[in-house]
Amino acid sequence: MEGVPLLGAPIWEDYRMEFSRQATINWSGSIMEGKGSVAAGSGAFSLPVTFPRRIGEPEGVTSPEELMAAAHAACYAMALNATVGKKGGAIGKTTITCKVTADKGDAGITITTSALSLTVEGLTGIDAAAFPEVAEAAKNGCPVSKAYAGSMKITLDVKVL
């Protein structure tokens, strides 16, 4: 496929393209008694959502904040491994947990923080002491981090095993 890098080649910076993804929610009822199901346009998931589960215990129901956390963790994993590869390194296993926090006050819900927690195992080609700088650069270059940066605090905790 022309314009798409081969395995081992640098990623997105070497070609230009626009792409989009979508999700659709079908909702029935009021905010407190209602419920919905949000589905990925790709068919990858269909997940239940309710407002009481959003602000209370999730009990198997997702929320916009959980979906934001999933997006940030997945995007950061890609950005991190691309950055490490560009620097001649590799990671055997990358584990990222992202926790998105919101505050519900009198004015409504404000999403305040996205906290990334990174653990890498089997790091090669990059000194472990220098790795936190690489991880931070990847965080700053991550497209989801860039999208979130203007409205919420983004933190990063790094562990190299």
Q: What is the pLDDT along the chain (161 residues), one digit of tens a residue?
A: 444 444 444 455 566 789 899 999 999 999 999 999 999 999 999 999 999 999 999 999 999 999 999 999 999 999 999 999 999 999 999 999 999 999 998 989 999 999 999 999 999 999 999 999 999 999 999 999 999 999 999 999 999 99
Is 35:63 a contact under the CB 8 Å cutoff?
A: no
Classified by CATH at the fold level, domain 1-62 comes out as GMP Synthetase; Chain A, domain 3 (3.30.300)
**Buried b or exposed e, range 35-58, using 16+ CB within 10 angstroms:** ebebbeeeeeeebebbbebbeeee
Question: pLDDT at position 16, please?
Answer: 73
pLDDT at position 9: 45
Name the superfamily (CATH) of residues 63-161. K homology (KH) domain (3.30.300.20)
Count CA atoms closer than 13 A to 7's CA, side-chain side.
0
The H or E element containing residue 154 is strand 153-160
CA distance linking residue 134 with residue 102, whole number of Å: 28
- Structure confidence at residue 148 (pLDDT): 97
pLDDT in tens, 40-77: 999 999 999 999 999 999 999 999 999 999 999 999 99
Q: What is the pTM of this model?
A: 0.88
**CATH 3.30.300.20 segments of the chain:** 1-62, 63-161
Q: In this structure, are residues 49 and 63 in contact, taking their beta carbons and an 8 Å threshold?
A: yes
How buried is residue 124: exposed, middle or buried, by Cβ count under 10 Å (0-12/13-18/19+)? exposed
In the three-class reduction of DSSP (H, G, I as helix; E, B as strand; rest coil), residue 111 is classed as strand
